[in-house]
Amino acid sequence: MKKAAALALTVALVSSAQAADKLKVGWIYIGPAGDYGWTYAHDQARKEVEKTLGVENLIVESVPEAQAVPYIDQLVKQGAKVIFATSFGYGPSVKEAAKKYPDVIFGWATGVERGPNIANYMADFYQIYYLNGLIAGALTKSNKVGYVAAVPIPEVKRHINAFALGVAAANPKATVNVTWLKGFYDPNGAKEATESLIAQGVDAFAFTEDTPTVSQVADKKGLPSFGHYSPMLKYAPKTMASGQLVDWSIFYTDFLKKVQNGTYTAKNLQNVDYWQLLGDKAVMMGADEKTLINPVYKAKLQSVKVKTADLGTLSVYDLVLKRLAQMNKKKPTFDPFKGPIVDRKGKTVVTKGKIPSVKELTSMEWAAKNVVGSWPNEPK
């Protein structure tokens, strides 16, 4: 699924590997560690746990999702007792390897199936995408907001829908025009997709591609965008409105500590499922760590007023801050997907007052009413 550079079957020994009794941890990356997106964020966490927990790290980069087993074989051969597969598409390989190596612990990022030695984990952005959508809806002048999307899996669709619901809440006339790249790391494709959307009149951008390319292209036209996974403000300092940030070390530290102290073993992970949101401090809103909303857009966001059922009439700027505060709690008092929600086919997909379960969120296939463009596997 993932576009990957040709890669020899090599495993890089990252740490000094001086102590034979250190816990060896294998990391399978979907892209290069320097992509400044998804893989970069995981690699930052990998460095953190190496420093704080003293584990020994083995990494492989740009591993094709359908061909991960040989890389897992290499990691196990080199002594890895814990292996993190950092992409949804590694699922079949993880399940095959988990049976082959029952004494090895596997962590499957964005995974949906568990096993005695398989745990799932996710630091999810859907709440932040909604907040970013509020901003985009207020900033668009053409009423066309663009979304350069990676691969049409439930995770990406969930994020697009959350973003689209935010856009609609701030601007009911605006659409979210989606273009799929069919890959997570594709800077050339992201450039072409952004340029095409601009030609169609789109004037604000969100994305899931693993580089700052979309923001860089939008910036050249003076158009707002939202950073993704890493502090990308430096790539578009005058136009990046906000973004999504992650700290994967929150999960990795907790999980590996529990492996080290014997709480987690290769026999008891059947019910271990990390689903971390704003209230867990694993994800954050911002163009970088110090810029929640780019001051360039503050006056515009304060000038756009919206009426809400629970907060009355207020500016989009204030609405973003209030919704963020509501969702920053361990038990959020607002959820973007609280029903009623009707999809673009006219079907009620979330009934009034209901908040979708994690299982429903991680299997989402429907498209929000204001989403425009192809939508693979859309329910009829």
Q: Residue ranges per domain, the chain?
A: 24-124+248-280, 125-245+289-372
Q: 136 near 226, Cβ under 8 Å?
A: yes
Topology given in CATH for the domain delimited by 24-124+248-280: Rossmann fold (3.40.50)
**24-124+248-280 and 125-245+289-372: identical CATH topology:** yes
Identify the CA nearest to 57 among candidates 34, 36, 28, 35.
28
Cα 288 to Cα 57: distance, rounded to the nearest angstrom: 27
Cα 25 to Cα 270: distance, rounded to the nearest angstrom: 20
pLDDT score of 3: 36
For the chain, the first-to-last Cα distance in angstroms comes to 25
pLDDT score of 227: 97
pLDDT score of 2: 38
pLDDT score of 20: 52
Q: 33 near 61, Cβ under 8 Å?
A: yes
pLDDT score of 357: 96
**Can you identify the CATH homologous superfamily of domain 125-245+289-372?**
Response regulator (3.40.50.2300)
pLDDT tens digits, one per residue of 108-124:
999 888 899 999 999 99
**Which tokens in the block code for residue 184?**
């997570």
Average pLDDT over residues 266-280: 96
Cα 69 to Cα 29: distance, rounded to the nearest angstrom: 13
Average pLDDT over residues 181-208: 96
pLDDT score of 356: 97
pLDDT tens digits, one per residue of 115-167:
999 999 999 999 999 999 999 999 999 999 999 999 999 999 999 999 999 99
pLDDT tens digits, one per residue of 235-255:
999 999 999 999 999 999 999
**Which tokens in the block code for residue 295?**
């001051």
Q: Which of 9-13, 26-30, 318-322 shows the lowest mean pLDDT across its residues?
A: 9-13
Q: Cα–Cα distances in Å, from 234 out to 144, 237, 289, 291, 375?
A: 25, 5, 12, 11, 32
Judge whether residue 16 has pLDDT over 80: no
Q: 138 near 102, Cβ under 8 Å?
A: no
Average predicted confidence (pLDDT) for the chain: 94
pLDDT tens digits, one per residue of 331-371:
999 999 999 999 999 999 999 999 999 999 999 999 999 99
pLDDT tens digits, one per residue of 293-342:
999 999 999 999 999 999 999 999 999 999 999 999 999 999 999 999 99
Cα 97 to Cα 111: distance, rounded to the nearest angstrom: 15
Judge whether residue 19 has pLDDT over 80: no
Judge whether residue 25 has pLDDT over 80: yes
The secondary structure element, H or E, covering residue 26 is strand 24-28
**Which tokens in the block code for residue 13?**
């020994």
Classified as helix, coil or strand, 235 is: helix
Average pLDDT over residues 259-283: 96
* Percent residues over pLDDT 90 in the chain: 90
